[in-house]
Amino acid sequence: MSETAVGGQVQSRLDQSVHRPLGKAEVLTEAHRCLYCYDAPCVAACPTHIDVPSFIRKITTDNVVGSARVIMDANPLGASCARVCPTDELCEGACVLGKDAAPIRIGDLQRYATDWVRERGVDLFAPGPPTGRRAAVVGGGPAGLAAARELARMGHEVTVYEAQAQLGGLNTYGIVPFRLPRDVALWEAEQVLKLGVTAYTDTLVGRDIPVEDLVRNFDAVVLAFGMGGVPPLQIPGEDLHGVWDALDFISKVKSGQDVGNLGGRVIVIGAGNTAIDAATCSKRLDAGQVTIYYRRTDREMTAYPFEYDFARQEGVEFRWLSAPVRVLGEGGRVRAVEFVKTQLEVSDYSNRVSPVPIPGTEFTVEVDTVIRATGQSRLTSLLDALGVAHDDGVVRVDPQMRTNRAGVFAAGDCSFRRGAGDAMVVEAAEQGKIAARAVHRHLLAMDESEQRRGASHG
């Protein structure tokens, strides 16, 4: 293991893309395979409804700027999505060619067009004529940026408040660099700022600025603050040195910070996409043996199949039906983890398979580093401060992303309900767009009511 986690060779492994970009000739061959279906199923399968046949056709006529405009018009996060969308389950999964042959590589073509404009510094959109209305957005991740971009294009004055030093949310700080480089996320944020959007970074709403001030000072507020850190395992010893929150760990690595020496044995607890990202990141940091422990089996794991395959290719090992009982330390540092074997039982009430510990099957694994990756907690304080209705931190919204409080909207992971599909960048982008349209209608209604009041006083 290298002394500095982000030393030269290690850094280049972290930056080495999982997926190589297509060359120009491959792009053209792939684009010419498209049948340009009328009523194309890929468009319906894309949560942001990008006009896929149209952007692909524009690539064949060498109108790459036009192609990127089609993509980014429908999806303000189109460059990130080209890399991180689970395309097998979305657009490419719906491609009619997929029945008999390989589907069109829509994600790769989308990447080609968006990389092309990004690398050449092409700006795609302009702000709308000023309306005199002001909106605040809490959180500068995919949902907040999508809402801000749409509102600015409608001519509203938009201010984004972001707790982190840079915009982009999990695209900048959460998704591993070898799947989504920071440059791509930051370019998308820059495109939004170029529309005249103001952003205050390093600003935690609720601490640095009261959320009620936003409601008072703006005509509308969009809550897009995502979810919180990894919840505690609630077992003894998890505060020992060498036990990481997966999101903190990935964020430090992605920001180029030193995470110290991980040692030769890393275990990751959990088996969702965050766990896979933490495990593959550790592998690329030269951690030696990296093992994922999960209390259920591969059938129940929430990571996408392609991520599971990728982790195995990177050399990550998996142990199923094992739940952590306590973390053991020496001199304040983690030394081992005690697990117990589990068996799956179907709950009488919910039909859900639950892991049940089997007494007497405890075993201990010697480790140097433990990474907790068991989902994300919910942020409730702003919601309570605003009197916005929520279910254990999941904001209650109607189909237009309106909360119970007039003038307050929500989008993205903060309103993501478990069991309602996957939390994805493309879904956050779409919800940001929907929220922006609802804000626009709300602001028009404010104008009309002020005009009516003015007329009745006149």
Ligand X SMILES: Cc1cc2nc3c(=O)[nH]c(=O)nc-3n(C[C@H](O)[C@H](O)[C@H](O)COP(=O)(O)OP(=O)(O)OC[C@H]3O[C@@H](n4cnc5c(N)ncnc54)[C@H](O)[C@@H]3O)c2cc1C
What is the closest distance, in whole angstroms, from the C-beta atom of residue 284 to ligand X in the complex? 14
What is the closest distance, in whole angstroms, from the C-beta atom of residue 78 to ligand SF4 in the complex? 6
Specify the residue for token string 């700027």: 65
Q: Verify binding: residue 107, ligand SF4, rule CB under 6 A.
A: yes
> For 50, which DSSP code?
-
Q: Verify binding: residue 270, ligand X, rule CB under 6 A.
A: no
What is the closest distance, in whole angstroms, from the C-beta atom of residue 33 to ligand X in the complex? 25
Largest CA distance in the chain: 83
| Binders of ligand X in range 225-244 (CB under 6 A) | 225-226
Q: Which residues pair with 161 in a beta bridge?
A: 138, 200
Interior angle at CA 360, CA 354 and CA 361, nearest 5 = 65
| Residue from the set 14, 46, 250, 275 that interacts with ligand SF4 by CB under 6 A | 46
Residue span binding ligand X (CB under 6 A) among the ranges 47-55, 111-119, 218-226, 287-295: 218-226
Q: Verify binding: residue 107, ligand X, rule CB under 6 A.
A: no
Distance CA(119)–CA(61), nearest Å, equals: 20
| Residue from the set 42, 56, 72, 224 that interacts with ligand X by CB under 6 A | 224
Give the closest residue to 150 by CA, choosing from 117, 129, 175, 128.
128
Residue span binding ligand X (CB under 6 A) among the ranges 51-59, 314-322, 399-407, 419-427: 419-427
Distance CA(295)–CA(277), nearest Å, equals: 18
Q: Which is nearer to ligand SF4, 48 or 280 (CB)?
A: 48
Q: Verify binding: residue 184, ligand X, rule CB under 6 A.
A: no
Distance CA(101)–CA(131), nearest Å, equals: 50
φ and ψ of 130, to 5 deg: -60, 135
- Residue 140 near which of ligand X, ligand SF4, none (CB within 5-8 Å, type-dependent): ligand X
Q: Verify binding: residue 52, ligand SF4, rule CB under 6 A.
A: yes
Distance CA(137)–CA(162), nearest Å, equals: 9
Helix (H, G, I), strand (E, B) or coil at 216: helix
Q: Yes or no: say if 199 and 140 are a contact pair by the CB < 8 Å rule.
A: yes
Q: Which is nearer to ligand X, 109 or 230 (CB)?
A: 230
Annotate 108-160 with DSSP letters as a single string: HHHHHHHHHHHHTT-----PPPP-S-EEEEE--SHHHHHHHHHHHHTT-EEEE
Q: Which is nearer to ligand SF4, 221 or 428 (CB)?
A: 428
Specify the residue for token string 């003038």: 407
| Binders of ligand X in range 13-52 (CB under 6 A) | none
| Residue from the set 144, 181, 270, 355 that interacts with ligand X by CB under 6 A | 144
Interior angle at CA 52, CA 49 and CA 56, nearest 5 = 160
Q: Verify binding: residue 175, ligand SF4, rule CB under 6 A.
A: no
| Residue from the set 250, 340, 408, 438 that interacts with ligand X by CB under 6 A | 250
Q: Verify binding: residue 303, ligand X, rule CB under 6 A.
A: no
φ and ψ of 363, to 5 deg: -145, 155
- Residue 245 near which of ligand X, ligand SF4, none (CB within 5-8 Å, type-dependent): none
Residues making contact with ligand SF4 (CB under 6 A): 46, 48, 50, 52, 75, 81-82, 85, 87, 90-91, 106-107, 110, 426
Residues making contact with ligand X (CB under 6 A): 84-85, 138-144, 161-164, 169-170, 174-175, 204-206, 224-226, 247, 250, 273-274, 277, 379, 382, 412-413, 423-426, 428
